[in-house]
Amino acid sequence: MVNINLYDRDTPTWCPGCGDYGVLTALKRAASNLGLDPTKTVLVTGIGCSSKINSYFYSYGIHTIHGRAAAVATGIKLSNPELEVIIAGGDGDAYAIGTEHLVHIARRNLDVAYIVMNNQIYGLTKGQVSPTSDEGFITITTPYGSYEKPVNGPLLALASGATFVARGFSGDPLQLSNIIEEAIKHKGFALVDVLSPCVTWNKINTYDWYKENSYQLKDHDPTDKKKAFEILLDEKFALGIIYKKEEKTFEEKVFRKFVHSPLKPIDVDLSIEKIYDEFR
Ligand SMILES: Cc1ncc(C[n+]2csc(CCOP(=O)(O)OP(=O)(O)O)c2C)c(N)n1
Ligand code: SF4
Ligand SMILES: [Mg+2]
């Protein structure tokens, strides 16, 4: 275990009480327990309040474009499989604009962990309906209530071939940190959906609401895939590791066959004048 403060960076600008604080705390604790080396760790995010998490976590990081974190993470992991690559972002990022990347990263079983901070709303853009908003949910873009059924992200990931699927709650950062630790340790694609309230724009799915509408998994065999599907179809949110199976990763199957070491660092002269010269 290393000192948790090692992973501190800027002070978060999230609203007081935002669920994302709990996720950051849990991630830092998991990193500390695993002794993650910040110089060999990359936290890749999309766009959203949740995606700002890599500004507050001390490691390498890329704040990519909305919905494309999984695609960028795939490139990083394939260039250098020795890096610990973690993806994080919101429900909009993962389950709306990024859906296709989620499906394909899951079925490839790339060895990365993906933390989705699910607040059932678009937080950063000030409270529009999201793909996980409940039917009937009133927002500024759905004044008569949402007419759409919510996307079940963990179920989608499991159906797409994810080899680790879990759900945590940012109101319980200790359990969440244990889950994130297991997800990072897992060899293969790990999805962690986190119930992470937006206290500013979502006045329905609050901490209390999630407490009333979730339950702890007990005596569950996470290798039982059929049971995992059943659990994910429950009306209430099951908390814990829902599915886990060891399978060959994408890197083991493809990358190692053709390239036997990470792409080598090269000396690049980043002087802007030199770059301009090339295009003059
Ligand atoms: C291509 C593109 N489309 C739309 C946006 C506008 N946009 C920024 S964040 C966001 C949604 C954020 O919601 P979510 O991913 O759930 O993150 P949260 O802020 O709730 O944590 C949208 C639609 C954008 N930045 N880029
Ligand atoms: S708007 Fe919502 S999601 Fe964004 S920082 Fe505030 S509470 Fe968190
Ligand atoms: Mg959101």
CATH of the domain at 171: 3.40.50.970
Per-residue pLDDT tens over the stretch 90-131:
999 999 999 999 999 999 999 999 999 999 999 999 999 999
Pocket of ligand 2 (CB under 6 A): 14-15, 18, 20, 49, 119, 123-124, 198-201
- 202 CA: nearest ligand 2 atom: 2
β-pair partners for 114: 87, 191
Q: Give the model's pLDDT for residue 280.
A: 76
Closest ligand to C-alpha of residue 22 is 2
| Residue whose CB lies within 8 A of the most ligand 2 atoms, among 55, 125, 132, 201, for a mutation test | 201
Rounded CA Rg of the chain: 19
| Residue whose CB lies within 8 A of the most ligand 1 atoms, among 18, 47, 137, for a mutation test | 47
Per-chain mean pLDDT for the chain: 94
Q: What is the pTM of this model?
A: 0.94
Instruction: Report the candidate in 223, 263, 265, 279 with the shortest Cα–Cα distance to residue 80.
Output: 263
Q: What is the mean pLDDT of residues 203-214?
A: 98
Q: Indicate the number of domains in the chain.
A: 1
| Ligand 1 pocket check for 139: Cβ under 6 Å | no
Query: Would you call 231 helix, strand, or coil by DSSP?
Result: helix
Check if the beta carbon of residue 51 is closer than 8 Å to that of residue 89. yes
- 130 CA: nearest ligand 1 atom: 16
Beta strands in the chain, from DSSP E residues, in sequence order = 41-45, 60-63, 84-90, 113-118, 164-169, 190-195, 214-216, 237-244
Q: What is the mean pLDDT of residues 14-28?
A: 98
What residues make up the domain containing 160?
4-279
Q: Give the model's pLDDT for residue 273.
A: 80
Q: What is the mean pLDDT of residues 174-201?
A: 98
Instruction: Examine the pLDDT at 278 and tell me if it is beyond 80.
Output: no
Predicted confidence band at 272 (pLDDT cuts at 50, 70, 90)? confident
Per-residue pLDDT tens over the stretch 226-268:
999 999 999 999 999 999 999 999 988 876 666 556 665 556 6
Q: What is the mean pLDDT of residues 138-161?
A: 98
| Ligand 1 pocket check for 48: Cβ under 6 Å | yes
Q: What percent of the chain has pLDDT over 70?
A: 94
Q: What is the mean pLDDT of residues 201-224?
A: 98
Q: List all residues 6 or more positions away from 37 whose beta carbon is below 8 Å from its beta carbon.
A: 84
> From the CA of 15, how far away is ligand 2's center (Å)?
5
Query: Would you call 102 helix, strand, or coil by DSSP?
Result: helix
Q: What is the mean pLDDT of residues 5-19?
A: 95
Helix (H) or strand (E) holding 257: helix 256-258
- List the residue whose alpha carbon is closest to atom 6 of ligand 2: 15
> From the CA of 51, how far away is ligand 1's center (Å)?
9
Q: Give the model's pLDDT for residue 256.
A: 60
Q: Please name the residue ranges forming H helices in 118-235.
A: 153-160, 173-185, 207-212, 225-232
Q: Give the model's pLDDT for residue 230.
A: 98
Q: Give the model's pLDDT for residue 220.
A: 97
- List the residue whose alpha carbon is closest to atom 2 of ligand 2: 198
- List the residue whose alpha carbon is closest to atom 5 of ligand 2: 14
